[in-house]
Structure 1
Amino acid sequence: MKEREAPTIDDIHTRIAKRVRDLRTARAETLDALALNSGVSRSMISLIERAEASPTAVVLEKLAAGLGVSMASLFGPEAADEERRPLARRAEQAIWKDPESGYLRRNLSPPNWPTPIQLVEVHFPAKARVAYESSARRPALEQQIWVLQGQIEVTLGDERHLLRSGDCLALKLDRPLVYSNPSSQPAKYIVAICDEALAPLVKGPTT
């Protein structure tokens, strides 16, 4: 079977645009309603849905929270757009770079596979910092962070954790979350996300 190519930056923006628009439509929400629920301006949401903006990780996280899904799910294609396969080759995996912090995220999980579990690989630059307002999520997402290289500092509410290579931290995202890299070297880590809201959106394969 021929391997698929990884989506380009333009493809990623198109995917995000379609996912945000489809999720909003499925919830029967207007642009104004989503703006109120997410804290992202109506004009910015409109630009994102037309693939005319390069939103930051913070903006995408706010939108995902407002739509009731994980941020990772915004990068995946719809079931109608791509067949479901249990294998995602390295060369096929979607990569996205945050225009603000420079952090690079790779969606590792096979697209559209019917599971609430999502894996993301992150390359985090030295001295980078990203702050998420995750407390808006209901219900809160569960995730685990496994550091492969370097070190990162994770602050959930008032709890601060310094993670080094090999460390794994389990989190319930019910408070504001901050990732930072205090060192002069880049870090790499895996995030495992349990997004129960994703399961109803994707039907399992027929038997």
Structure 2
Amino acid sequence: MLRFSEININIIVFRMSRVDRKIAENLKRIRKAGNMSLDTMAARTGVSKSMLGQIERGESNPTVATIEKIAEGLKISFDELFYTREEDIRVVDPERMEIYREKEGKYRIRQIFGYDSRRTFEVYQAEIYPSGSMRDITDKEDAVRYITVLEGELLLHADHEVYTLSPGDEVRIAGGKAYQIENRSGMFARISLLLSFERGTRR
């Protein structure tokens, strides 16, 4: 699971109006589900009642620090504030998804299917720049990573071994195992990354 505290905020790109709308809807839903008043939520999170009200009404753009305080105070995962209710059938064009995490000249990652309480996995798609590389995106020991190479020739560094990967190759990496994927070619490479929380927890 990605947490903003683990990410350099300078390299995150958001369409803020869309994100703020998700936060507003989810914050109100979580508060009502917990039978909390704004006063109660303010006491639990350390965020003022007026600020919480503005966020719920979509009148305020909460900072990352504010969102972290809310998540920690309510004892929820960060992603629950960005949750989008799933349709029965959903077709996703990765090129139209927001860039979730990016390091200029190295890689960019889009979240395809994020947090949903009904499932125990998340799906990402990553593009690795020519001569770029990316490391693991989670430090959760229960998160098993399943990688599918979609385009490009890559090198996988793991457990003091180097593996050559080509389009169509599938890789499973156990939870807690560090790895790095390197693109030594002169072309973009693309992978699909599925995080499976196989012990049923993702926090």
Relative to the length of structure 2, the TM-score reads: 0.54
Q: In structure 2, what is the equivalent of residue 32 of structure 1?
A: none
Partner of 2:113: 109
Deviations 1:155-196 (A, max 9, x none): 123132211111111111323221211111111111121023
Deviation at 1:146, TM superposition (A): 0.8
Structure 1 vs Structure 2: percent identity of aligned residues?
11
Match of 1:62 in 2: none
The verdict on how the C-alpha distance between 1:126 and 1:115 changes in structure 2, with shifts beyond 3 A counting, is same
Aligned residue pairs, count: 145
Alpha-carbon distance between aligned partners in 2 of 1:187 and 1:180, rounded to the nearest angstrom: 9
Contact between 1:141 and 1:193, CA under 8 Å: does it hold in 2? yes
Quick check: 2:79–2:115 contact (8 Å CA) kept in 1? no
Name the structure 2 match of 1:34.
none
| Local SS of the residue matching 1:49 | helix
Q: CA deviation at 1:115?
A: 0.6
User: Take 2:172 and 2:186, find their aligned partners in 1: how far apart are those partners?
Assistant: 25
- Aligned partners of 1:84 and 1:113 also within 8 Å: no
Which residue is equivalent to 2:178?
176
Which residue, 115, 124, 128 being the options, matches 1:124?
Answer: 128
Matching of residue 11 in structure 1 with residue 42 in structure 2: no
Structure-to-structure mapping, 1:118-157, within 5 angstroms: 118-132=122-136, 137=140, 139-157=141-159
Contact 1:108 1:120 in 2 (8 A): yes
User: What RMSD in Å do the two structures reach over aligned CA positions?
Assistant: 4.0
| C-alpha deviation, 1:95, in angstroms | 2.8
When the two structures are superposed, what TM-score results if normalisation uses the length of structure 1? 0.53
Distance of 1:180 and 1:11 partners within structure 2:
31
In structure 2, the partner of 1:49 is: 65
For residues 153 and 164 of structure 1, the distance between their equivalents in structure 2, rounded to whole angstroms, comes to 9
Trace 1:50-89 onto structure 2 (pairs within 5 A).
Answer: 50=66, 74=79, 77-78=82-83, 82-89=84-91
Partner SS for 1:127 = coil
Unaligned runs of 5+ in 2: 1-12, 28-43, 46-62, 68-74
CA gap of 1:99–1:10, structure 2 versus 1, over 3 A, is farther
Q: Deviations over 1:54-77 (max 9, x none)?
A: xxxxxxxxxxxxx9x8xxx85982
CA distance in 2 between partners of 1:157 and 1:97 (Å): 25
The answer on whether the counterparts of 2:115 and 2:122 sit within 8 Å (CA) in structure 1 is no
Maintained 8 Å contact 1:86/1:110: no
Q: Are residues 165 and 107 of structure 1, via their aligned partners in 2, closer, same or farther at CA, if it must alter by over 3 Å?
A: same
The Cα shift of 1:143 comes to 1.4
Alpha-carbon distance in 2 for matches of 1:83, 1:13: 14
